[in-house]
Amino acid sequence: MIVTITPNPSLDRTYELRTLTPGEVNRATHDRLDPGGKGVNVSRALTAAGHRTTAVLPLGGPSGRLLSDLLRGQGIDVEAVAISGDTRINVSIAERGGSLTKINAVGPELSAAESAALLELVRDAHRFGQGTGNGVEWLACCGSLPRGLEPEWYAELVARAHSGGARIALDTSGPALVAALAARPDVVKPNREELAEAVGRPVATVGDAVGAAGELRERGAQQVLASLGADGMLLVAEEGSWFGSAPVAVVRSDVGAGDASLAGFLGAGGTGPGALVAALAHGAAAVQLPGSAMPTPADLDPAAVVVTADIPLARPLRG
């Protein structure tokens, strides 16, 4: 049983075009509407893989009701805090050559009472598995914080999750990530840019990423699962460090690919090289699907994933 927390969820509208021409009328070849937000995507990927999950999120307005309906239609349990603002709608434009343009809305501002209600749901998260034989093993806290929530909000959430006996995975960035490290999250999942921001220096090689991940561990993170884009993923933990990559034939959309990776990692136990293999297989499958579609077991090719403890420290990172 894995519970996800998404403080700033969204509806994600994706348009696929041959080529985007700014300033002109562009006609889409395909479009789709998906539930969005990093934690929501983790729940969707877990459900697609056959795991039980509950999505905790603030919802408001017609877009919030539609988001809830879409999630329940996919078999995902929803625990919502009603808010006065409207749930945001994000737009992605995916070009055939692989270029992706994203427009993310700011989202609603949460009141102090709405923020407290979200934390209260986290405190009660253990009850979501009651009667099923499944206790809550992981709490995945994902995404940006909406207006009205201080950077320390995730740190408080981590502390509450640990007091309830759950392990915590944190996928956020900036001051919210830095503030939460002292609460000792069980795993954090930054990308290359977020790693560099957290340590205040460039991450140009795999070795730089290893060093930055080690610094996050020194500051409290128990494991660091770092996404390095097309170059692969890195796992740094007390038990050891591993680097892995997976082949991708054609990138169709990378929206939600990192969230699919985190779902694969947690679904495979959330520790060690086997979980890293699952993370890479899920991420590679996700980027070959349209919009923010999440992969099913039939989409995965874990046999194609290469994971090694012999980390190529000098390898430069692309981009």
Phi-psi region of 313 (alpha: psi -120 to 50; beta: other; left: phi over 0): alpha
Which helix (H) or strand (E) is 197 found in, with range?
A: helix 192-199
* 77 catalytically annotated: no
Rounded to whole angstroms, the Cα distance separating 131 from 179 reads 35
**Closest by Cα among 197, 238, 231, 186 to 214:** 238
Of the residues 12, 69, 259, 310, only one is catalytic, namely 259
Rounded to whole angstroms, the Cα distance separating 85 from 173 reads 24
**Long-range contacts, 114-120 (Cβ 8 Å, 24+):** 114/58, 114/81, 114/83, 114/84, 114/148, 115/148, 115/149, 115/153, 117/81, 118/5, 118/7, 118/56, 118/58, 118/81, 119/153, 119/156, 119/157, 119/160
Cβ(34)–Cβ(293) under 8 Å?
A: yes
Q: Which residues are catalytic?
A: 259
